[in-house]
Structure 1
Amino acid sequence: MTTVRDHTLPREYVVRDQAVVQSPVAPTPLLAELPAHSIFHEPWWLDIATGGHWNVAKVVRGNEVLGELPYYTARMGVWRISHLPPLTRTLGPVIKSLDLDIAHAQHHRLSITSRLIEQLPHFDSFFQLFDPRVEDALAFALQGFTVSARHTFQIEADRTVAQAWKRLHGKTRNVIRSAERKLTVAPIATPSEFLQFYEANLLERSRTNAYGSAVMRQLVNAFVERQAGHLLGAYGPGGRLIAAIGLVWDRHAMYYLLSSRTLEAHAGSVSLLIWTAMQHALEQKLTFDFDGFSSPATFNFLDGFGGTLKQRLGVERLSTVYSVARILKRRMVPGLASGFAPNL
């Protein structure tokens, strides 16, 4: 049985009394001695996001867990792959800090990470993206992985709400003020209301759910029930829901995970919801993480909230055969994307 950790926000920010979604039992649960680095490392999250297809490399000394590295296992045709599971923004190694000087601490982290990597099974394609706090990419590079940099915006936990408002770009403040005059922000009553709204907006745009409707449904129900996240809605005249966002959190940060709006929604509806979520995070002394950006347009939108640009390291290793097959496929299909990129 996995342990439910307390990530509770104050009562007024929590959507309660939702149906419990039972997640499958993890094949190799993370040991309780080493707390999860983020919500995305939590066994219950990985159970749902991977359908139970995950494992974890561990380094243990006696009864002390020194390091863990969870990873997803999947098949893509003939290829065995390990990428980030749906809606799982970051993973990476979790290394126990010891009371060491800088030089010995650096050696400790490098040694433990190397031992974790050595336990990974063979994958034709392996990719993970690390939280900005994780800098343990050197060990991966030394073992043949390609290390790349991606980015996210963060609002530091020590900012006040007034300071955060002042750092918003003028255009962003204006659209928020305009939306505040016309819309009401409130918790969405049930996960099913959010999910139906999300799917309806995809249908209206002739799109499908990139994360998988079933996985999203289970994760949204689970993080609401566990009080590790909530759903905010912007309501227009007559109480009609026109925009919604999903947020999750752990002891360190609140993450902007999901958003959706109707085609005719007010231009500032999502900005208003993000600003409301930022205030909730700062009141709880949590870092607000915008969870990266996948295009220049998204970068420009998120940049308006005055966040600090943070680097997230990615590590990737491809087998020779897989790498050649990918190159050939790109040449045969010009413009074909290599796969889902979590962010720039």
Structure 2
Amino acid sequence: MFPISEASKAVSRNGPAPPPRRVLTPSNLILDRERSIFHETWWLDIASGGRWTLATVEESGTIVGEMPYYVSRKGVWRACVNPPLTRTLGPLIVDSGQSPMAEFQHRVSVTTKLIEQIPRVDRFFQVFDPRIRDAVAFSLNGYNVSLGFTFRISCEQTREEAWRRIRKYTRNLIVKAEQELTVKTVPSADDFLNFYNANLADRKQRNAYGTQVMGDLVKAFIYRNAGTIIGAYSTDGVMVAAVGLVWDSRTMYYLLTTRAQEAHSGSISLLIWNAIQIAIQRKLVLDLDGIASPSIYRFLSSFGGSLDQRIEAERMTTTYSLAQTLHRRILSRTSNGATL
């Protein structure tokens, strides 16, 4: 038997209706189905503070390709990177409906025209949504194209099947946590944000995403019913862990996570298990994000997902590359000297 919480039964919050979507032409409707939540105008407006640009390509008055980008400045350097909390981006191309070879040439041509609109920067780096495979044009235009990875859990399974695919050790941890904790939807965005910031303060850390940006995004995705926050509560009703989930028409993303230092060691595992159930109920793939370290790999791999590829495109100027190399060497020497 596996635990099912109230949060997995109530998968969405009622709230004010979101503003009407923009009017789309037929071809743009195709693009709209391909957009991830991170491609959405409202998301990019908040994440970038409105400082993003949409490169577009039109044919016969119809948009056939688009790619959002965001340019920031740090010191003397200009970088075109994903905005805070914007996990993936990348170009979106409308299928031409031609033969496979003609389709390939069409996609390379449109992607090249999008690339030509990116301004000169010291560093360009974008992680593409896993469904985006248009990388050839980046390689042909001098970008380094590599592969990253993310764990994704299929929604084409029952809860029982998903439970069996979780590693035994993690299942045991979830069962033990469920005996001590109750999982439910966090009542308000402010409850989560206050809890998140308090946990950072306890660890003497700062919010890497920006407190204002993260707060505005959390409030926006809850308001638009494009995400939710689920929390784990102790028997006395105190929240000890929470995760933020967002979704689009195809995918749910495990986006934010936090827990109190004294929380049960299985609290986050319990919340991820509930996220799996919510994703299956919504018929969405659950994306657990990339692999930043061996420990994160071991943790995320225990939930029974598949390892999917996502493209990463990068280009740096020679000056920026040399500066980064010098910076790493200085840090290495400082670190080595501190341990002597």
Q: With structure 1 as the length reference, what TM-score do the two structures score? A: 0.89
Alignment of 1:92-107 (within 5 A): 92-107=90-105
CA shift, 1:164, in A, is 0.9
Whole-Å separation in 2 of the counterparts to 1:330 and 1:272 = 38
2:225 maps to: 227
| Residues matched between the structures, number | 320
Query: CA–CA distance in 2 between the matches of 1:324 and 1:166?
Result: 50
Match of 1:153 in 2: 151
Question: Is the aligned partner of 1:56 residue 2:68?
Answer: no
List per-residue Cα deviations over 1:77-111 (Å, max 9, x = no partner). Answer: 11111111100000000111232232222121111
Number of the residue aligned with 1:167: 165
CA distance in 1, matches of 2:157, 2:9: 22
Per-residue CA distance 1:180-239 (angstroms, 9 max, x = gap): 111111000000000000000011111111111010000000000000000000011111
For 1:252-331, list aligned pairs within 5 A: 252-331=250-329
Q: Which residue of 2 aligns with 1:77?
A: 75
Unaligned runs of 5+ in 2: 1-6, 20-26, 336-340
Distance 1:170 1:336, change over 3 A: farther
Question: Following TM superposition, by how much is the alpha carbon of 1:163 offset from its aligned partner in structure 2, in angstroms?
Answer: 1.4
Letter in 1 for 2:43: W
- Residues 157 and 288, structure 1, Cα contact 8 Å, conserved in 2: yes
Match of 1:341?
Answer: none
Alpha-carbon distance, 1:149 to partner: 1.3
Q: 1:137 aligns with which of 121, 135, 138?
A: 135
Q: Which runs of 5+ in 1 are unaligned?
A: 1-8, 23-30, 338-344
CA shift at 1:113, angstroms? 0.7
Supply the RMSD in Å over aligned alpha carbons. Answer: 2.1
- Secondary structure class of the residue paired with 1:239: coil
What amino acid is aligned across from residue 40 of structure 2 in structure 1? Answer: E
Q: 1:181 and 2:179 equivalent?
A: yes
Structure 1 residue 336, shift from structure 2 partner: 9.0
CA distance in 2, matches of 1:11, 1:264: 27
Question: Using a 3 Å threshold, how does the CA distance of structure 1 residues 10 and 32 change in structure 2: closer, same or farther?
Answer: farther
Residue 15 of structure 1: how far off its partner (Å): 3.0
Residue 10 of structure 2 aligns with which residue? 12
Q: Distance in 2 between matches of 1:272 and 1:131?
A: 27
Separation of aligned partners in 1, 2:70 and 2:190: 27
**Equivalent residue for 1:112?**
110
**Does the 8 Å contact 2:8/2:277 carry over to 1?**
no
Distance across 2 between alignment mates of 1:266 and 1:183: 8
Aligned to 1:201: 199
One-letter identity of the residue aligned with 1:64 = T
The share of aligned pairs that are identical, in percent, is: 48
How much does 1:293 deviate? 2.5
What is the one-letter code of the residue matched to 1:250?
A: D
User: Is the deviation greater in 190-199 or in 287-296?
Assistant: 287-296
Counterparts of 2:118 and 2:65, CA distance in 1? 13
| Offset at residue 11 of structure 1 (A) | 9.2
1:32 to partner: Cα distance: 5.1
Higher helix share: 2
Amino acid at match of 1:46: L
Q: 1:37 to 1:219 in 2, by over 3 A?
A: same
Code of the residue aligned with 2:301 in structure 1: it is D
Native 8 Å contact 2:17 2:224 kept in 1 = no
| Whole-Å separation in 2 of the counterparts to 1:18 and 1:188 | 17
Distance 1:256 1:167 in 2: 18
Residue of structure 2 equivalent to 1:66: 64
Name the CA shift for 1:53/1:157 in 2 (closer, same or farther; >3 Å). same
Taking structure 2 as the reference length, what is the TM-score of the superposition? 0.90
